[in-house]
């Protein structure tokens, strides 16, 4: 028997690679995912997803699993020096918080149930525009479509010599997953709604910020921001005395964070001249890593994974030249990612988020986008 399915080879088993793999397999492709790490698991703490990626999760059938351990907090609260600036209920905007390990496990399960072959301990060292990949083992394979979803240090991108720029920011963040300790927090501040996301900013006299994000009933995601020039603020494990002196009402959860090694990440934005080269397409951080302000790095990765799978499937079904179809996919889809990148970089540069009431206008264009709507690019003549 011969296998007449189209073949996709994917570098990277993160949120982008697993989403693309699942979508393609469900559209009838034979798919392999090469993950260089020996273990398939997500690094990191918590994550916020918005309508754009939640629509994709619905489409690939991952919603029930995802919703089992995630939540939508009552509001996104912003404080400055512990004074509430805004409590945005985000009415009409779909969003959910969760842990990164849970999202990764959900996607891995969806991929395997869809027939994707996920290979751990398999690094991709290069790709060529004709659709050939080379693995660290020396093995090569050819595919109808190659996807570079291998993160910000992408070997696929670099092997194609696609020019890119990298903009770094002065601020950065360390992230922790700790127990909720809601009763202890309530005892310290009884008036506070501890189910809210609370963005605790301090700009004066010292720039330090804690983004408090409940991920489910048991787990809390803490993101601690400081300028990289602040040696004590950016130290990991965290300087507990410093952080509790500024955020005393968070002492119970900061104490847990201090027990974790953690890692400090400087903010940066990667912009590529183009996302595709022949039969190779780049998605996720390899193509468009961004600052975290709008929580859209993973969201845009999953959005682009889905639209790429649809575009490639439709092109091959219609007998259209794949490289041309990939160029057209980038032309149509990229603006929704560019706007999130630019806006997130602007927030990183200005710290404007500290003012509150920020989830309006350009800041929610990407969050509100529905990449699964087949009519999304139709232009209606007046």
Contact characters 59-98, ligand 5PR, x per CB under 6 A: ----------------------------------------
The CA angle 224-259-37, to the nearest 5 degrees, is 80
Spell out the residues 6+ positions from residue 366 whose beta carbon is closer than 8 angstroms to its own.
50, 52, 294, 296, 299, 300, 303, 336, 337, 339, 340
Length of the chain as a residue count: 382
Residue whose CB is less far from ligand 5PR, 81 or 350: 350
Q: What are the beta bridge partners of residue 141?
A: 133
CB of 183 to ligand FAD, least distance (A): 26
272 is a site residue for ligand 5PR (CB under 6 A)? no
CB of 147 to ligand FAD, least distance (A): 10
CB of 196 to ligand 5PR, least distance (A): 13
The tokens of 314 are what? 């439709």
* 241 burial level (CB within 10 Å; 0-12, 13-18, 19+): exposed
214 is a site residue for ligand 5PR (CB under 6 A)? no
Specify the DSSP element, H or E, that contains 269: strand 264-272
State how far the Cα of 68 lies from the Cα of 148, in Å rounded to an integer.
30
By a kind-dependent CB cut-off of 5 to 8 A, residue 296 interacts, out of ligand FAD, ligand 5PR, none, with ligand FAD
State how far the Cα of 16 lies from the Cα of 111, in Å rounded to an integer.
12
* Among 48, 57, 220, 254, contact with ligand 5PR (rule: CB under 6 A): 48
CB of 375 to ligand FAD, least distance (A): 25
* Residue 240, Ramachandran bin (φ over 0: left; ψ between -120 and 50: alpha; else beta): alpha
> For 332, phi and psi rounded to 5 degrees?
-75, -40
> Of 17-25, 228-236, 289-297, 324-332, which segment contacts ligand 5PR by CB under 6 A?
289-297
Residue whose CB is less far from ligand 5PR, 124 or 353: 353
Residue whose CB is less far from ligand 5PR, 147 or 353: 353
* Among 23, 135, 223, 258, contact with ligand 5PR (rule: CB under 6 A): 223
CB of 369 to ligand 5PR, least distance (A): 18
The CA angle 350-356-362, to the nearest 5 degrees, is 70
SS3 content of the chain, % helix, strand, coil (to 5): 35, 30, 35
Residues that bind ligand FAD (CB under 6 A): 11-17, 34-37, 47-48, 123-124, 149-151, 155, 173, 175, 265, 284-285, 292, 295-299, 301
257 is a site residue for ligand 5PR (CB under 6 A)? no
CB of 122 to ligand FAD, least distance (A): 7
295 is a site residue for ligand 5PR (CB under 6 A)? yes
* Among 111, 147, 215, 293, contact with ligand 5PR (rule: CB under 6 A): 293
20 is a site residue for ligand 5PR (CB under 6 A)? no
Q: What are the beta bridge partners of residue 266?
A: 172
* Among 73, 151, 214, 292, contact with ligand 5PR (rule: CB under 6 A): 292
State how far the Cα of 14 lies from the Cα of 289, in Å rounded to an integer.
13
CA distances from 344 to 100, 111, 174, 228, 337 (A): 20, 30, 17, 18, 11
Specify the DSSP element, H or E, that contains 252: helix 251-257
CB of 330 to ligand FAD, least distance (A): 16
Interface residues with ligand 5PR (CB under 6 A)? 48, 173, 175, 211, 213, 223, 292-293, 295, 353
């Amino acid at each position: 028997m011969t296998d007449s399915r189209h073949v996709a080879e994917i570098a990277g088993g993160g949120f982008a690679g697993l989403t693309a793999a699942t979508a393609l397999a469900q559209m009838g492709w034979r798919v392999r995912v090469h993950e260089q790490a020996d273990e398939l698991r997500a690094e990191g703490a918590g994550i916020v997803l918005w309508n754009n990626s939640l629509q994709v999760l619905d489409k690939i059938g991952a919603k029930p699993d995802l919703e089992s351990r995630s939540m939508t907090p009552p509001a996104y609260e912003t404080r400055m020096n512990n004074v509430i600036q805004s409590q945005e209920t985000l009415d009409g905007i779909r969003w959910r918080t969760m842990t990164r390990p849970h999202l990764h496990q959900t996607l891995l399960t969806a991929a395997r149930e869809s027939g994707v072959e996920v290979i751990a301990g398999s690094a991709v060292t290069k790709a060529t525009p004709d659709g050939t990949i080379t693995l660290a083992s020396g093995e090569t394979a050819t595919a109808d479509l190659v996807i570079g979803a291998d993160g910000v240090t992408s070997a696929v991108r670099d092997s194609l010599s696609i020019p890119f720029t990298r903009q770094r920011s002065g601020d950065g963040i360390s992230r922790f997953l700790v127990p909720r300790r809601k009763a202890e927090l309530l005892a310290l501040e009884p008036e506070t709604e501890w189910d809210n996301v609370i963005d605790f900013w301090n700009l004066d006299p010292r720039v330090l910020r804690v983004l408090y994000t409940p991920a489910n009933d048991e787990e809390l995601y803490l993101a601690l921001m400081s300028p990289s020039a602040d040696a004590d603020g950016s130290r990991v494990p965290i300087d507990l005395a410093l952080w509790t002196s500024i955020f005393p009402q968070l002492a119970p959860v900061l104490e847990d964070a201090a027990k974790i090694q953690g890692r400090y990440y400087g903010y940066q934005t990667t912009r590529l001249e183009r996302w595709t080269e022949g039969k190779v397409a780049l998605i996720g951080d390899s193509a468009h890593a961004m600052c975290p302000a709008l929580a859209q790095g993973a969201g845009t990765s999953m959005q682009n994974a889905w639209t790429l799978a649809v575009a490639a499937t439709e092109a091959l079904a219609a007998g259209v030249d794949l490289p041309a179809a990939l160029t057209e996919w980038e032309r149509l889809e990229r603006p929704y990612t560019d706007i999130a990148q630019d806006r997130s970089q602007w927030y990183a540069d200005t710290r404007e988020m500290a003012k509150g009431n920020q989830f309006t206008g350009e800041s929610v264009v990407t969050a509100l986008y529905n990449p699964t709507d087949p009519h999304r690019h139709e232009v209606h003549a007046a």
